[in-house]
Structure 1
Amino acid sequence: MLRHASQEHSEAAEDGTSSNSLKMDFLKIPLNKINEATKDFSEECRVGSGGYGKVYKAKLDIVDIQCLSSMEGKCKDELPKISKRVAIKRISSEAHEYGKQGFLTEIELLATCKHQNIVSLHGYSEENDEMILVYEFVSNGSLADYLLNSDKTRANLTWAQRLQICLDIANGIDYLHTHIEGKRRILHRDIKSDNILLDENLNAKIGDFGLSKFHPIKQQASSVYSKNVVGTDFYTDPEYLNTFKYKRESDIYSFGVVLFEVLSGKLAYDSNYTSKSRTGIAPIARTCFKEGRLEELIDPNLIKEVHNENFKNRRLKEDSFKAFSKIAYQCLKLTQAKRPTNSSQTPNNGSHHQSHHQGASK
């Protein structure tokens, strides 16, 4: 609904290795297996829909490539399969904006990713002109679902839960932005609450990589020139809009918008914000922070939570609000150079990085 119309999508990896090529081959799932699992895409299996198509919940036997240390010399039919609950996205043939390139991009990008805060791709199918992606099933929906909830059908997120969700997002972004063996740096280009999924334990996972892009491997500069603007209104880096140069700091800006959404309990395009600013929460949050009016932004549920604490815990949470909002404000700086960057410069093995964003927990 809010996504910029654009035909620009990620390029295929310039340095595709035989390992990744083999992995993508192992990810192919016969269409008849998907038809069987979804009862021919019946409504009873459908759990959601979006601008690009419908999403179905099913149980499917998949090759567990995440557990394979090496796939060289192995035959796909000989590999053990595991039965898992999965989310199956059937991309509509009318989704021209997403298109074939976006579909292939998501497969190629996610085939290189292995991290607890990135949604796992379990397979795909492209038979009979179908474009189908099979992901791990993340049971609690999106962060946006929680923030949109006004009828209390979902439990209100505590401050501790909100902090952990934000740390998970920061760790996921850090992983994407870090070059490690088998994975190049990735610019997500559409960080927003709709693309943050929560599992049964409220662990956050970044999803939807259709607009993402590998950082050019031979390019020393930290920015990627993008003449067609992509992303989502209210979350898009203003410097990128002016210069068409997308950097890792552009993802950080979008993350800053999400941080203030979490603090306020409202989405960036809530009418409370759009009635005051056409660009939503970001300029309002910057003004409130600079003028010391942060309490105007904080979710009343969090204020109530603080008031129910004893004096010591109350002070700790108030200090935490201040530290959190300072980091969020820094992420929303209008110029890319002034925003925080991920502090980790060393590869990791899928465990959490320490990042500047984690100051929110102190």
Structure 2
Amino acid sequence: MTKSFAERIGKGGYGTVYKGKLPDGSLVAVKLLNESKSNGEEFINEVASIGRTSHVNIVTLLGFCYERTNRALVYEYMPNGSLDKFIFTQESSSTNRHLEWKTLYEIAIGIARGLEYLHRGCNTRILHLDIKPQNILLDDGFCPKISDFGLAKLWLTKESIVSAAGARGTIGYIAPEVFSRAFGGVSHKSDVYSYGMLILEMVGCRKNFDSAASHTSEIYYPNRIYKDLEMENEESILGNIMDGENEISKKMLLVSFWCIQTNPADRPSMSKVVDMLEASLESMEFPPKPYLFSPTMSP
């Protein structure tokens, strides 16, 4: 299918992805999974759970391979790759790959609907626990599709939920309660937090956490954006962000700060997020300032 893994198209925490072709000519993405702590029965059960999902904003699982320690998942092929290629500056690229505001807005709504489905539309609630731009794939029309959901269980079955989620999350997107039970229990609201961080990055076209920054204020980007929003400082970074599309960008920012509230109970559900994104800007309440949890302070 992959011609001996000839063309690698991605690599993530769970394995390496290769481009493949089925006998009928249709393209697929084959994820060759890393070795897992789970046994064969757990793998089959989790694959069955993933395979039962069906939503326009969820990547479709077409098949799987299970042969002793070799395991692979076969997904539909996404020609535009992952979202990170379009929202972060590509220093090695001479072309500007940033998307129009209307497209970014539609992508944000699509991701929210996909997460809403995972949290409420499935027979059993599925927590993703690793929402980030690299796990949002784009089809040829830039419709977003969430990938890599449900895989965390296969690597973490013998561990507690806190250490489990922490081991599989990505710095910059992990909710406070994943690091410490003092903030609450890990739940679907942990995905809401990660979604909020993702939307901040989409609006700002930069990573929300920069470990290479020289000053603490530059390390944690949301701190600066919230202050601009609060002061309505249109001449600042916020003003540059909102260039030409004030309403869309401000609405996305307000939603993102509701999503990253420190207390999970204060965050909206993904259903509420969809409603907020589709409502008018005037109808939205201004979010309270979250205790902006810095990843550098985590245990």
Q: TM-score, normalised on structure 2?
A: 0.77
C-alpha displacement of 1:84: 2.3
CA contact (8 A) 1:261 1:268 kept: yes
Equivalent of residue 114 in structure 2, options 155, 159, 172: 172
Equivalent residue of 2:64, what SS? strand
Q: Deviations over 1:203-260 (max 9, x none)?
A: 11111122269xxxxxxxxxxx823143111101113322161122111111110111
Q: Distance in 2 between matches of 1:212 and 1:322?
A: 36
Kindly indicate whether residue 29 of structure 2 is the aligned counterpart of residue 87 of structure 1: yes
CA contact (8 A) 1:102 1:211 kept: no
Matched positions, count: 269
CA contact (8 A) 2:59 2:146 kept: yes
Matching residue of 2:289: none
Q: Distance in 1 between matches of 2:110 and 2:102?
A: 12
**Structure 1 gap ranges (5+):** 1-36, 62-81, 214-224, 307-316, 345-352
Matching residue of 2:99: 157
Measured on the aligned residues, the alpha-carbon RMSD in Å equals 3.2
C-alpha displacement of 1:143: 0.9
RCO higher in structure (CA 8 A, sep ≥6): 1
CA contact (8 A) 1:90 1:131 kept: yes
Tell me which moved more, 292-301 or 232-241: 292-301
C-alpha displacement of 1:199: 1.1
Equivalent of residue 21 in structure 2, options 43, 59, 65: 59
Q: TM-score, normalised on structure 1?
A: 0.65
Equivalent of residue 227 in structure 1, options 159, 162, 178: 162
CA distance 1:172–1:274, shift in 2 (3 Å): farther
CA contact (8 A) 2:172 2:208 kept: yes
C-alpha displacement of 1:266: 0.8
| Seq. identity, % | 30
C-alpha displacement of 1:121: 0.6
Q: Distance in 1 between matches of 2:162 and 2:210?
A: 29
Equivalent residue of 1:172, what SS? helix
Matching residue of 2:178: 240
Equivalent of residue 269 in structure 1, options 200, 209, 212: 209
Q: Distance in 2 between matches of 1:130 and 1:360?
A: 50
Q: State the structure with more CA Rg.
A: 1
Equivalent of residue 356 in structure 1, options 264, 276, 290: 276
CA distance 1:335–1:131, shift in 2 (3 Å): same
Q: Distance in 2 between matches of 1:51 and 1:176?
A: 20
Q: Distance in 1 between matches of 2:44 and 2:227?
A: 41
For 1:38, the aligned partner's letter is T
Matching residue of 1:4: none
